[in-house]
Amino acid sequence: MRLILAPVFVALLATFSSAQAQPPAEPASEALIDRFVRALPHQEEFEVHPEVDPRQLARLSAINPGKESTLRPILLAHAACTTPPQKAATMRLIRAIARDLGPAKLERLIAFYQGPDSATFERLSAAADDRQTPPEADRKELERIMAAYPLADWVQAMGSSARRLLDDSDFLGAISRCDAARDAALAQAKLKAE
């Protein structure tokens, strides 16, 4: 997700994370978290659209030759089933991380995303991705931006979020039910799942 940052700057962010990483004195309020979520750029990335997983279709087609036309609607129904829990889990995750960052850091991140530094950072990051090594002036500007906002804390929290997702019983339960429905549909169509 572009919500985070360009990969070329992950190492640069690590420089700032140890100095800035401190637990908040108090958790962020729900109203502040709402403001933060609304301030995040690329809101379209929160919208997950059901699509057939091409790898899953290829795998199942290989063990069910000539049955792609039967497999496709089953896999599309599975994707439609998993889409709402994926979106809900993503929002719970973002909100939990925001809550943990605390009000002071969230206020700074909101200022970043609503101010001109966000667009500058995104532009410089995209250019650096193309070149791999940013010019000195761009690097200094990126360092200034990273020093001014708790971006390293945000990125570090998002980077270590997989564990939280694995602990999300609502998400895991919903995905399990979707998988069971897909497997039942495959069995009813007399198709192999493995």
* Structure confidence by residue, pLDDT tens digits, 142-155: 899 999 999 999 98
Report residue 119's pLDDT band, with 50, 70 and 90 as the boundaries.
very high
**pLDDT of amino acid 144:** 94
Helices (H) and strands (E) in the chain, counts: 10, 0
In a domain, 30, yes or no: yes
**pLDDT of amino acid 18:** 42
In a domain, 194, yes or no: no
Per-residue pLDDT of 155-184, as tens digits, reads 888 887 778 888 889 999 999 999 999 999
Query: Are 179 and 74 a contacting pair, CB within 8 Å?
Result: no
Query: Are 78 and 182 a contacting pair, CB within 8 Å?
Result: yes
In a domain, 87, yes or no: yes
Number of separate domains in the chain: 1
166 exposed, middle or buried (CB, 10 Å; 0-12, 13-18, 19+)?
Answer: exposed
In a domain, 154, yes or no: yes
Q: Is pLDDT above 90 for 71?
A: yes
Provide the residue count of the chain. 194
In a domain, 193, yes or no: no
Distance separating alpha carbons of residues 127 and 2, to the nearest angstrom = 14
Average pLDDT over residues 179-192: 96
**pLDDT of amino acid 3:** 45
Token duo for residue 184: 């039942």
In a domain, 180, yes or no: yes
Q: Which residues contact 15 (CB under 8 A, 6 or more apart)?
A: 152
Look-up of token digits 């549909």: 185
pTM over 0.85: no
In a domain, 104, yes or no: yes
Token duo for residue 116: 């001109």
In a domain, 2, yes or no: no
Question: What residue numbers bound the domain in which 39 lies?
Answer: 7-18+26-188
Token duo for residue 156: 């570090």
Higher pLDDT pick, 78 / 127:
78
**pLDDT of amino acid 22:** 57
Distance separating alpha carbons of residues 172 and 154, to the nearest angstrom = 24
Distance separating alpha carbons of residues 154 and 134, to the nearest angstrom = 22
Mean per-residue pLDDT of the chain: 85
Distance separating alpha carbons of residues 110 and 157, to the nearest angstrom = 16
Query: Are 3 and 41 a contacting pair, CB within 8 Å?
Result: yes
